[in-house]
Amino acid sequence: MSTATTEPTAVSRTAASAANAAEIDYRQLASDVLAGHRVTAEQALAILDSPDQDLLAVLDAAFRVRRAHFGLSVQLYFLMNAKSGLCPEDCNYCSQSKVSEAPVPKYNILQRDQLMAAAELAAARQAKTYCLVISARGPNEREMKAVEEIVPEIKAKYGLDICACLGLLTAEQAQRLKACGVDRVNHNLNTSEEYYAKICTTHTHADRVQTLHHVRDAGLEVCSGGIIGMGETHQDVVAMAIQLRELAAESIPVNFLNSIDGTPLQNQSELTPQDCLRTLAMFRLVNPTSELRISGGRELHLRTLQPLGLYAANSLFVGDYLTTSGQPPEQDYQMIRDLGFEVTGGVTLPTEAAPAGHDRAAKNGQQPMPVASMTSESSGGCGGNGACGSGGQCGGGQ
């Protein structure tokens, strides 16, 4: 897996790892997983260290497990950046953190009409889940009340599931989210406990885990994943995947770092498509029954191999991320059709043109708002920490 560091421990595949990879019977491993085997750290590392010529065998093993639990379905998510900019945290990957110089939209939590318009667009795109994200270390009372008011209305009118991503939560806040109808909460581990202090110092890995325990205790589903390609080792990636298994996360978004100019990780080396596919396969085999979502950075790093990612993952964001653009929805629809897969529920996929103003080619482009009224000028300023240069995973952000 490529990283910015030149230290051999971060980029090289050791002789022992290569030997372990050579010994794996991937098809047998898939059968073992389906029979209840829990993939070990050594097996997971061997998958990440496997040679490119084994890639199809690795994906075949992941697909056998994915198909057994999710068939050929693809779950669509829609991401709404409901509050953006001026983050008080120092997450190195985040385009909105206090250490970032990246130009991003800045606005306070959006008004009801704007959030409802985005929900309408999510429903039109056949998304099952509307992900409401705010930029904040944690929600203040005004933001909590805004979420409590809008969630029942969105669910009643559009029948969408709601995933709230509001940063660090108290036990009482998690209970309030459950009471107003939120289905799940996203708060990402982002990386391993050991590596976390190298990407953020204003809160800890333990803080994030505590929020996830509050979410679980409130009876909400847990959505938690990470960002790949921040300079971490394969051991860090495996440790995160196994910790998510221990947390029994129902949904795991996997992001691939979009190294935004102006962030501390702006010069981070890019991953290869093969790196990304091995990572997705490893997450699937370690977490066989969890929904696995290919999230921010998939267009940048998987490139023409994006369709292969769905042989391990069973979920996608349709449209844009937080501060970066995704590919036009119709390209996602065509990819799903070409694979012979179908959207969850067997719905007919729409045929739509890319919305005006979307610049899909610019790596460092800001996210266009999903409706015309959502502009930084009309929405005002803000503070908080949520959206990130990974293309979607930050401060608890999805």
Which of 125, 163, 165, 200 is catalytic? The answer is: 163
C-beta separation of 188 from 200 below 8 A: no
Which of 87, 200, 382, 388 is catalytic? The answer is: 87
Which of 125, 137, 176, 293 is catalytic? The answer is: 293
Tell me whether residue 223 is one of the annotated catalytic residues. Answer: yes
Q: List own/partner pairs for 140-149 with CB under 8 A and 24 or more apart.
A: 142/109, 143/83, 143/109, 144/173, 144/176, 146/109, 147/177, 147/180, 147/182, 148/176, 148/177, 148/179, 148/180, 149/112
Tell me whether residue 276 is one of the annotated catalytic residues. Answer: no
Tell me whether residue 200 is one of the annotated catalytic residues. Answer: no
Tell me whether residue 91 is one of the annotated catalytic residues. Answer: yes
Which of 66, 94, 180, 278 is catalytic? The answer is: 94
Measure the CA–CA gap between 125 and 128, rounded to whole angstroms.
Answer: 9
By C-alpha distance, which of 182, 244, 199 is closest to 39?
244
Tell me whether residue 87 is one of the annotated catalytic residues. Answer: yes
Tell me whether residue 165 is one of the annotated catalytic residues. Answer: no
Which of 66, 91, 165, 208 is catalytic? The answer is: 91
Query: At 60, which amino acid appears?
Result: D
Rounded alpha-carbon distances, angstroms, from residue 385 to 191, 233, 308: 17, 26, 33
Which of 64, 125, 131, 382 is catalytic? The answer is: 131
Tell me whether residue 163 is one of the annotated catalytic residues. Answer: yes
State the virtual CA torsion across 34, 36, 42, 44 in degrees, nearest 10: 40
Which of 165, 180, 200, 223 is catalytic? The answer is: 223
Mind telling me the catalytic residues? Answer: 87, 91, 94, 131, 163, 223, 293
